[in-house]
Amino acid sequence: MKNGDAEIGLAFDGDGDRLGVVTKDGEIIYPDRQLILFARDVIARNPGAMVIYDVKCTRHVAKAVKAAGGEPLMWKTGHSLIKAKLKETGAPLAGEMSGHVFFKERWFGFDDGLYAGVRLLEILSRGSNPSAELNALPNSSSTPELQLQTAEGVNFDIVKRLQAEGKFPSSESVNTIDGVRAEYADGFGLARPSNTTPVVVMRFEADSDAALARIQGEFKAAILAVAPDVKLPF
């Protein structure tokens, strides 16, 4: 508390395994940006440590991990998949855009929103302005998760064709570990099949609104080239 007003607000889902954060200015600090703060803290005690993040996370995670002296590893979305990769690699930290954070350092390697909240408060207690520290985390223009509704199983077919035939002209690289994530000098675009519902999940991020529109335009063209009858959510 400061001057009678809360500096930050914490919220937890019904199962208590995911953490939500908002600053006193009302800015929501999404889980991938929270992961940057956790990564810096863990790497400070464990130089060279690996930090695992899922394909939906901001590209700022990898940049921040490298800048802190750690090794970023992008992996498939999914609680069990991230947890298994954490065990396989021995990484001290992993996180998902969905809000699941797995601490192996000073904890047991499973997601616990209350514990993540305590770790966050521990980090922020070292400074004088928690909201300012959170607001200063790297950020870019981005979309929430967008969902392309399909018939059962069609979402997997669309993504398989995107992986094989998709063209993303201005991208620098394309990662197909979990769907299609095209990396650009100024952003990224993602299309992956949901494992639980018949949708293609999409997310976009860029350094400007113009870049965001360009990246979405490339994905729109690529998707319509393999599935011309779908109704895109953007």
Same domain (yes/no): 131, 23: yes
Give dist(CA 35, CA 75) in Å, integer: 14
**Is residue 150 a part of any domain in this protein?**
yes
Same domain (yes/no): 197, 120: no
Same domain (yes/no): 110, 148: no
Last residue of a domain, one of 135, 159, 184: 135
Same domain (yes/no): 12, 88: yes
C-alpha distances out from residue 149 to 63, 171, 180, 181, 230, Å: 32, 25, 17, 19, 8
Using a 10 angstrom Cβ sphere, with 0-12 exposed, 13-18 middle and 19 or more buried, the burial of residue 51 is buried
Reported as a single tens digit per residue, the pLDDT across 64-113 is 999 999 999 999 999 999 999 999 999 999 999 999 999 999 999 999 99
Same domain (yes/no): 131, 147: no
**Is residue 1 a part of any domain in this protein?**
no
154 pLDDT above the threshold of 70: yes
Domain containing residue 15: 8-135
Residue 120 in contact with residue 42, Cβ under 8 Å? no
Q: Residue 102: what are its φ and ψ, rounded to 5°?
A: -115, 110
**Is residue 3 a part of any domain in this protein?**
no
State the virtual CA torsion across 40, 24, 114, 119 in degrees, nearest 10: 30
Same domain (yes/no): 145, 131: no
Same domain (yes/no): 123, 204: no
Reported as a single tens digit per residue, the pLDDT across 30-73 is 999 999 999 999 999 999 999 999 999 999 999 999 999 999 99
Average of per-residue pLDDT values in the chain: 95
Q: What's the length of the chain?
A: 234
**Is residue 184 a part of any domain in this protein?**
yes
pLDDT for res 148: 98
Same domain (yes/no): 200, 118: no
Bridge pairing between strands 199-206 and 146-149: antiparallel
Last residue of a domain, one of 77, 112, 135: 135
**Is residue 83 a part of any domain in this protein?**
yes
H or E element in which residue 36 lies: helix 31-45
Q: What is the pTM of this model?
A: 0.94
3 pLDDT above the threshold of 50: no
Reported as a single tens digit per residue, the pLDDT across 186-215 is 999 999 999 999 999 999 999 999 999 999
Residue 172 in contact with residue 218, Cβ under 8 Å? no
Same domain (yes/no): 154, 182: yes
Among candidate residues 230, 162, 159, the one with its CA nearest the CA of residue 195: 159
Same domain (yes/no): 116, 167: no
Last residue of a domain, one of 135, 165, 198: 135
Q: Read off the CATH number of the domain in which 49 is found.
A: 3.40.120.10
Half-sphere exposure of 163 toward its Cβ, with a 13 Å CA cutoff?
Answer: 14
* pLDDT band at residue 150 under the 50/70/90 scheme: very high
Domain count, the chain: 2
Same domain (yes/no): 129, 145: no
